[in-house]
Chain A
Amino acid sequence: MTQNTSVTDEPPLLEVKDLKVEFDTYGGSVQAVRGVSFSVEEGKTLAIVGESGCGKSVTVQTLMGLVPMPPGRLKSGTATLRGRNILGTSQIDGQDFRGSEIGMIFQDPMTSLNPTMTIGRQIAEPLEVHRGWSHKKAFSRAIELLEMARIPEAEQRAKQYPFEFSGGMLQRAMIAMAIACEPAILIADEPTTALDVTIQAQVLDLMGDLQQDHGTAIILITHDLGVVARMADEVAVMYAGQIVERGSVDDIFYRSAHPYTVGLRAAMPSNDPSARRSLIPIEGSPPDLFSPPTGCAYAARCPYAMKICSTSEPPPFVVGQDHFGKCWLHHEEVAGGWEKILSGAPTLLTGAKMARASSPLAENKS
């Protein structure tokens, strides 16, 4: 914990570089992930946001070796966990890192647990496999984990089957299962999407508290900016298989550096009665990833698109410390480009404060 202040030669906890994943179909190959790089630091939360089909789930599922290959294909890229490769393998030093070093929870807890195995047994499984614990020892630890996940009467509950649990309880049981071996990273793939709003808050609270207690890094995949504002330290905005903007949570909300991020925020619902405004949708639809455009993938929907945007892909322009945006408007030859957009879009300036207020989670925090 104290090391990560100034030590530079220590490799980051998780580092992904230039990840490209394709899917072969009868209609051609879909370029689902087109060169994604990011890193995660210990104890921090990275949120990956973007609309459906932008490749956020495929990115993390590739890291976890959960993408069936074929039809999936790893085109390029590296991923290292504390400097050791994890891509294309599920092993580090002969041990499966999944479940022990990286835990993962999924979108739909109702279908993500085995219907014919008790909750307790399913939570105990990683402990038996990764730590070689006995049946009994692992099961009693599973009860403790359920208690930690704030499931009442954990001892009885551990002997029950998934169909006897509610959705929110199942997701908390999933979290208990994912952190059973105290992994360094917890990947949460849209953990609250299938849950209703009050339950969302409970699940997010639980994740936040566990992170504080154990120093677990979280990779949070979501399309809910309210969740991002509440949970994230770092944010990566994905569009059409690429990270188009990356920065701290404040950078993303206060100093957006990509028109897509700006559009996403304008499209966010608000329940602030003083801000009487209608949602501003992003016109059009994402590009066809069978043959992605040569220029900026967002150009066709971007209200500020220039000539160059459709012909060549923008590089990541560094706009602040650890903050970049892949947009030509940041180029020095575009006179006052980015500032012009900012002034033309007043909704931007309300920033994260608005995001927090508009998040239904903020109100329902139990």
Chain B
Amino acid sequence: MTKFLIRRIIFLVGTLFAVSIAVFAISELAPGDIAVNVLGNTITPDQRTSFNAQNGLDQPVVTRYVRWMFGSDWQASALIGNSLTKVYDADENRTKWWAVAEDNVVFYNKTPDGETMYRVERTIQPDGKLGESREIELGDDVWTVNDAGDKIFWGVDEDGRAAMWVRGAAQEEQRLTKAGWISIAGAPSAYIPLQSGLIRGDPGVSFITRSPVIETLWPRLKNTLLLAGIAFAFIMPLALLFGIIAGLNEGRGLDRFLSITSLVATATPEFASGVFLIVIFAVWLGLFPGAVVIPPGTSIFDRPEMLVLPVMTLTLIELGYVLRVTRASMIEVMRANYIRTAVLKGLPYFRIVFRHALRNALLAPITVIMLHVNWLVGGIVVVETLFGFPGLGSYVLTSALNTDIFALEAATMVLVIIAVLTQLLADIIYVYLNPRIRYT
């Protein structure tokens, strides 16, 4: 069992890496320019080059993948010679990277003219806030000579990127601010955008919203897990119950009715059944709200009736599939020889069903339910979009539509990890429930 688990986990990690490469490749190599997409199609070539350099988009794909997956701070840290850290700046209301000078003192570098380097230091106060800034002029000896003979300096710039300044190069930086495009003198010649990498839980900073993806992703994930969890809690018992009833009444009217109804319910796309439910329950009967609106400062729990229709839609689509598997499994078990023996022995019918048949009949549906999480993910994207539910599904869709690649990649990876983990769980449960199977 341990051996099987280890092999499965190694395979799982391999799959996840393959998936991450695929996701990255598809979304990054796609036609279309991120700079144009973010800044609009009126930008000049200069502005685009500057944007690409600042965000590391001018680098080869492999470099960008490594930075996205494993982070870039360790590369930059080696060049700068100081360790780097993320600090929340209350003034700017954002978290950015700083170089660490000594205990509780962080700094960034700047140069007004490309000749004199300055270090701007700030102290981290005990309450986590940043203290007053203090400018220190650095001497000539901070410049080092590189292979090409240029005098260079690696540091962290004002925006929290690792940057390389070249002495005497009158580099300009194009930057879009609230006041429009400005060009800043004394800008670095090369940049490494800092991130600690997906593997360490940092999927990067969104190009569109300019805030770390993890901050927007996490609350969405919690909402989605809540929705899916509630739906699961309804689907499981209902589908198993109806499946067993249908299986026990094989060929009779009740079975026909349950089978056909569940087929129709499962075949109907989520958005169609969702529209039917909204029209019936929200518009005509006015029983439940047809959309999920969560004003800031409130939670879903303040108005739980908003969840009724989304959960119902998910239940409809998932119910049929599990029901049919349970039914088929129940029919098969009831035809087995040991059930016939139990019947001939004169055991009461309910005892046969509950003590003898049920355990074996539930084997198939339970694993199928776990394997069906992939399908549930699809349902969640559609249902969340239809009802305006602020979850991971609608997050994936909006980031795909806006080509917000870091957000799209992160959300995709989270959903794939969930899917793959449940598949592993299904395997383990299957082995546990079925003593005839022993993986080695």
- A and B: bona fide binding partners: no
- A: residues with CB less than 8 A from B are none
